[in-house]
């Protein structure tokens, strides 16, 4: 049986040559699955949403299936994922129109070249697997009435969460062409175990890429992206929301919540400062009211593109965190990286130094 080393981190190139934007889910049988975008670019050409699995706590990964294969001239790349109440794996997947089928020679070396073709957001698919991500059906629907107000189709993001009333919830975001309205984050709900989704509630004006956690009772926490991560809280199972201020500094985004077995809440997030890219984390032991000093988990060296962490907890209390990176000095391709670490060790390593007084 693999064990975590309590005194050191383990870091892996887990899936090579993909931009990934990973979303991790722990399955009922103990395996970890990662839902990823399977191309080494920011959606510049056609690509699919794939599902990969690990049975050794994140050290090695094998491709299992394809929740959302692209249609001609499009890609599928934006996802939310999680478990239904019956244990099925659900993926909500959207993408973009007007994408070439093949990358131009050398295009994988370009991050965001000028002259992207005009495109539109694809309506999200509801994808469901009953065998741990190996086979998929695409049925169900998403009802998003804000489209009547000019909003684009919703882009899913983050984890699918289970609420105290038995419903499922997920974060989506959308843009409105009116600059006075702009981008909004919403909380979307399913009351039939992930088959149909609707009843969107606005959470955060001017924010995108929301991720949520239900720590207990009727309380739901949301981390929403703007220049930084802002904490939004609902005390009534997602009906109303209040802004509780920043969770991170500018350029430290987007985020992912994980409820730990001991009751604490872990927030991981990308650190996206030029010359200082990496993965950061904070912990709360009181339901999200107070958060620890930030910790730096991964140094992405001289990367200029990376982040988007997602985490699960191991049986022995260690943490498995996946992220993506444009490349690091020892491995210059896009990849999904994995770091296996412990909260206590990271806290010690990142503790402030108390220098003696002069």
Tokens 């010359």 belong to residue: 275
Q: What is the mean pLDDT of residues 110-116?
A: 52
The DSSP string of 20-38 is: EEEEEEE-TTS-EEEEEE-
> How far is 189 from 178, CA to CA, in rounded Å?
26
Q: Length of the chain in residues, anyone?
A: 358
> How far is 255 from 257, CA to CA, in rounded Å?
7
What is the chain's mean pLDDT, rounded? 93
> How far is 60 from 52, CA to CA, in rounded Å?
10
Would you state the pLDDT for residue 5?
66
**pLDDT one-digit tens code per residue, 192-230:** 999 999 999 999 999 999 999 999 999 999 999 999 999
Sheet order of strands, 32-37 included: 20-26, 32-37, 49-54, 62-68
- 268 contacts 259 by C-beta, under 8 angstroms: no
Q: What is the mean pLDDT of residues 341-354?
A: 87
CB atoms within 10 A of CB 347: 14
Q: Peptide bond preceding 254: is omega within 30 degrees of 0, i.e. cis?
A: yes
- Which is it for the CA torsion 171, 306, 94, 340, positive or negative? negative
Residue 312: C-alpha distances to residues 23, 30, 258, 267 (Å): 10, 11, 7, 11
Question: How many CA atoms lie within 13 Å of 39's alpha carbon, on the beta-carbon side?
Answer: 28
Q: Which domains does the chain have, with CATH numbers?
A: 10-104+119-349 (2.120.10.10)
The more confident residue out of 103 and 320 is 320
* pLDDT of residue 2 exceeding 70: no
Residue 111: pLDDT band by 50, 70, 90 thresholds? very low
Would you state the pLDDT for residue 101?
87
**pLDDT one-digit tens code per residue, 234-249:** 999 999 999 999 999 9
Q: Which of 7-21, 64-78, 164-178 is the least confident region?
A: 7-21
Q: For the chain, where are the alpha helices, taking DSSP H only?
A: 343-349
Would you state the pLDDT for residue 3?
66
Would you state the pLDDT for residue 9?
87
> How far is 345 from 212, CA to CA, in rounded Å?
26
Enter the tokens of residue 294: 């930030």
Would you state the pLDDT for residue 298?
96
Query: Could you give the percent of the chain with pLDDT greater than 70?
Result: 92
> How far is 22 from 338, CA to CA, in rounded Å?
10
């Amino acid at each position: 049986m693999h064990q975590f080393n309590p005194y050191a981190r383990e870091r892996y190139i887990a899936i090579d040559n993909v931009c990934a934007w990973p979303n991790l889910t722990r399955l009922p049988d103990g395996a970890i699955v990662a839902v990823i975008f399977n191309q080494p670019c920011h959606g510049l050409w056609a690509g699919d949403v794939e599902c990969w699995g690990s049975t050794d706590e994140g050290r090695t990964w094998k491709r299992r299936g394809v929740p959302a294969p692209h249609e001609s001239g499009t890609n599928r790349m934006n996802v939310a994922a999680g478990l239904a109440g019956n244990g099925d794996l659900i993926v909500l997947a959207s993408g973009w129109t007007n994408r070439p089928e093949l990358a131009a020679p050398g295009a994988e070396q370009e991050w965001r070249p000028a002259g992207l073709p005009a495109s539109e957001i694809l309506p999200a698919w509801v994808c469901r697997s009953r065998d741990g991500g190996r086979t998929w059906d695409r049925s169900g629907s998403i009802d998003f009435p804000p489209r009547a107000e000019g909003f684009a189709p919703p882009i899913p993001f983050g984890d699918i969460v289970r609420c105290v009333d038995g419903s499922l919830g997920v974060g989506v975001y959308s843009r409105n062409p009116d600059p006075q309205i702009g981008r909004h984050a919403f909380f979307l709900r399913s009351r039939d175990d992930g088959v149909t989704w609707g009843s969107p509630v606005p959470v955060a004006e001017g924010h995108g890429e929301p991720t949520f956690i239900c720590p207990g009772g009727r309380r739901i926490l949301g981390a929403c992206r703007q220049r930084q991560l802002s904490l939004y809280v609902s005390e009534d199972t997602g009906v109303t929301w209040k802004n509780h201020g920043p969770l991170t500094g500018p350029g430290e985004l987007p985020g992912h919540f994980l409820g730990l077995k001991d009751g604490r809440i872990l927030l991981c997030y990308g650190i996206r400062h030029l010359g200082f890219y990496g993965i950061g984390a904070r912990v709360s032991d009181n339901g999200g009211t107070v958060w620890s000093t930030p910790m730096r988990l991964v140094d992405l060296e001289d990367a200029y593109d990376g982040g988007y962490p997602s985490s699960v907890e191991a049986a022995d209390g260690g943490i498995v965190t996946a992220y993506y990176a444009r490349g690091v000095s020892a491995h210059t391709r896009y990849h999904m990286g994995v770091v296996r670490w412990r909260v206590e060790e990271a806290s010690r390593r990142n503790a402030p130094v108390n220098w003696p007084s002069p």
